[in-house]
Structure 1
């Protein structure tokens, strides 16, 4: 097990760690003398506990890696996770399932050498393991990076993966810098949080995957959408919604517009918690929609703020857009949203510094949409019977490629066929009486 100076603060060996833990646990159960500790000592003791927990996780991963290398799980016909659970549960409660899975994945990082999809312990993988063992990377983030490597290694370019994994590790790990007089005090500078790292990993994964594979992922995710209703407490109803990134981005934007705190007539603060405000916003959105189902929309669709490179938006195949709420969208999804959503352009400098934040660009006007409803009568894709009020106004020559927001460049498409048209880059001919798609 690799040990660095970061761990050498009063204990660096197993006996020292055991003694430190024993001194802390002697006061457990109400019979100890922890009450004698001063305030600063209580805080410092918690710091030692945190350090001990991280050190134990490093030891745990190293021992699991050694056991896997020796084939110990197979000798008893156990899976690696079951073997770890049974071993650690001999003298203590079983570890949590998620914790065990994380430990096994980090232990296996770069060690699976059999078969055509063998993973090699590259420099970037070694950097990942080294950062974890040095206490610069917690188990959770190490697991995120190990899963990312295992998932994309079989299909990604090795050099690109090596470079991108190295960049992710560098961004995620903590740094310890010397401060104070003569550098005697050390301060920890935090890396990306788990949520920020998840966004970075998803975006990087899209950059490494071929566009067709990314679009296949999007289609599979959309098929996973679901809405279920069950009995809630005290006569209430409980709804459970599962959405893909595109659907979540639209719902997030719609709810954000109506779920802010509302002051009372005399300036009183809104006493509703955020959860109730979001529920009220959802009911209001649906109420407005069903109040005039066949009428023309009286406002723009929900504004989805997306940051994406201009080249990726125009014709990119390996880029990605990121919404304000952290959803990562494929370029094809962003281009589809650009047809009829209010897109807020964000111009970034070389260091991701925001140089300009544009205002929403209006696309087809209410009058134009009324004309499209009359001309097209519904979705224009051959064989589709979706009514016009459930369709989007699509730029036949894409707006991202310079297409104009004119009736002569517009066609109604339902969401399903809107996605298909963008995915397959289909063309159409438009006349004053209708639209003909060239399939």
Structure 2
């Protein structure tokens, strides 16, 4: 019990913390006594340990926040993180760098805000801190939300960030509800996991950014596309594909169309695991594509279900498109895809209620594409030699702006120049013999 006595002495100035630690240490130090506990008591003791862990995180953040307010790290010529590490490592092993960084970020949250929107921002951060101090939001999630706010605040439109951060806090924190007869029992309802919260933050962050910022990210991401091949097990090959959101949305849609379970001739279930079905689908997609490389495609491009506000699609205002698989696309990307892909419009009412999920509309027919192949002979952008089978049919007057889906409003463009035309909002003149772009 020597360690218990040392801790008792060390925390004598904090009676509540001192007594809790002494009680825990006495139980652990006298390990031979634990056999006396019943099964329910062991479970209850572990529940108390979990509660104590949360309370210690709260106390740690509060102490660090107070120390930062008093300028204690500066007095010792340490960074805040190093100061916390050295203080906590005085009588125990050093905390992990990741943990200390999280504590410092949460402690600093909301302390340096200024400007006309500072009050709203402070309210949003206070929601995070309140949920954390009430024990409904663990340190890891609080850190995720604080980092999200700091990263997006410089580019997000005023008011939107605070609203979305509040929604994320509500989804991430645990709730305690009354259950059982007359509500006598309390049950904890879990919020989003850290992984789920991370995905929600990524999606929300892209939706909050202005379109030009999303477009910049998309261009950089597209440059990061890669496909590598290495030796796999037992003479097989291992492929690794890295795709941007637009590429992933197309691949996801294509694989989904061909990777479903297929029953046998007698109705027996498909024994292939999902991973094999997706691999088989990929091979089949490529096999169909190379079977007749110079011929017109026999089927439409993969249907990509995209949800986007009509005003965002038309004008490129705040917002973005979200695919059925969770990829977030810039409005400019959705407008480009609308030229030559099966876009399924999802019309949303209040509270995101789905009012209508329409059929694929407004894409060029195989007959129209055949006429474009003959007229344009390939990509119509000046200097490009991409053959027609690798081009999209582009609405010169954009479909999202009311442009018609007919030959007199169409031009073949390769993927690269299709993106360029939409990004620069270029216009063209069309005659029966060709297309002239006004650069």
Would you call these one fold, judging by a TM-score over 0.5? yes
Structure 1 runs not aligned, ≥5 long: 1-11
CA RMSD of aligned residues (A): 3.4
Q: Give the CA deviation at 1:60.
A: 3.9
TM-aligned CA distance change 1:346 to 1:114, over 3 Å: closer
For the residue of structure 2 that corresponds to 1:351, the secondary structure is: helix
1:408-423 alignment to 2 at 5 Å?
A: 408-423=408-423
- Are residues 1:282 and 2:282 paired? yes
Whether contact under 8 Å (1:112, 1:120) holds in the other structure is no
- Residue-by-residue CA offset, 1:209-252 (whole Å, 9 max, x unaligned): 33222211221222222222333344433322222211111111
1:64-213 alignment to 2 at 5 Å?
A: 64-66=64-66, 68-69=68-69, 98-112=98-112, 122-194=122-194, 197-198=197-198, 200-213=200-213
- Residue-by-residue CA offset, 1:157-208 (whole Å, 9 max, x unaligned): 4444334333432343233233444543223344445455445434543454
- 1:9 aligned residue: none
Q: Give the CA deviation at 1:435.
A: 0.9
For the residue of structure 2 that corresponds to 1:345, the secondary structure is: strand
- 2:336 aligned residue: 336
- Are residues 1:58 and 2:61 paired? no
Which has the larger displacement, 191-200 or 368-377?
Answer: 191-200
Distance in 2 of aligned mates of 1:25 and 1:377: 80
Aligned partner (choices 7, 10, 14) of residue 17 of structure 2: 14
Distance in 2 of aligned mates of 1:345 and 1:92: 59
- Are residues 1:324 and 2:327 paired? no
- Are residues 1:388 and 2:394 paired? no
Distance in 1 of aligned mates of 2:369 and 2:67: 66
TM-aligned CA distance change 1:367 to 1:144, over 3 Å: same
Whether contact under 8 Å (2:178, 2:184) holds in the other structure is yes
TM-aligned CA distance change 1:16 to 1:374, over 3 Å: farther
For the residue of structure 1 that corresponds to 2:436, the secondary structure is: strand
Distance in 1 of aligned mates of 2:144 and 2:99: 12
Q: Give the CA deviation at 1:288.
A: 2.1
For the residue of structure 1 that corresponds to 2:186, the secondary structure is: strand
Distance in 2 of aligned mates of 1:296 and 1:93: 68
Distance in 2 of aligned mates of 1:269 and 1:339: 39
- 2:7 aligned residue: none
Distance in 2 of aligned mates of 1:236 and 1:85: 49
Q: Give the CA deviation at 1:150.
A: 0.7
The number of residue pairs the alignment matches comes to: 424
Whether contact under 8 Å (1:199, 1:328) holds in the other structure is no
TM-aligned CA distance change 1:263 to 1:423, over 3 Å: same
Distance in 2 of aligned mates of 1:287 and 1:80: 58
Distance in 2 of aligned mates of 1:407 and 1:95: 67
Structure 2 runs not aligned, ≥5 long: 1-14
Q: Give the CA deviation at 1:122.
A: 0.9
Q: Give the CA deviation at 1:275.
A: 2.2
Whether contact under 8 Å (1:111, 1:119) holds in the other structure is no
- Are residues 1:255 and 2:258 paired? no
- 1:244 aligned residue: 244
TM-aligned CA distance change 1:368 to 1:70, over 3 Å: same
TM-score by length of 1: 0.83
- Residue-by-residue CA offset, 1:6-48 (whole Å, 9 max, x unaligned): xxxxxx94345536755886798xx88569643x556545544
For the residue of structure 1 that corresponds to 2:367, the secondary structure is: helix
Larger radius of gyration: 2
Distance in 1 of aligned mates of 2:434 and 2:325: 38
- Residue-by-residue CA offset, 1:291-333 (whole Å, 9 max, x unaligned): 2222211111111111111221222321111111111111111
Distance in 1 of aligned mates of 2:192 and 2:385: 48
- 1:8 aligned residue: none
- Residue-by-residue CA offset, 1:107-165 (whole Å, 9 max, x unaligned): 332234699x9999712111111111212223333222212211122233444433433
For the residue of structure 2 that corresponds to 1:268, the secondary structure is: coil
Q: Give the CA deviation at 1:89.
A: 6.5
Q: Give the CA deviation at 1:371.
A: 1.3
For the residue of structure 2 that corresponds to 1:295, the secondary structure is: coil
Distance in 1 of aligned mates of 2:88 and 2:269: 52
For the residue of structure 2 that corresponds to 1:344, the secondary structure is: strand
Q: Give the CA deviation at 1:344.
A: 1.5
TM-score by length of 2: 0.83
TM-aligned CA distance change 1:188 to 1:384, over 3 Å: same
Whether contact under 8 Å (1:349, 1:355) holds in the other structure is yes
TM-aligned CA distance change 1:192 to 1:401, over 3 Å: farther
Distance in 2 of aligned mates of 1:342 and 1:138: 43
TM-aligned CA distance change 1:309 to 1:195, over 3 Å: farther
- Residue-by-residue CA offset, 1:246-280 (whole Å, 9 max, x unaligned): 11111111121222222333333333322222222
TM-aligned CA distance change 1:297 to 1:310, over 3 Å: same
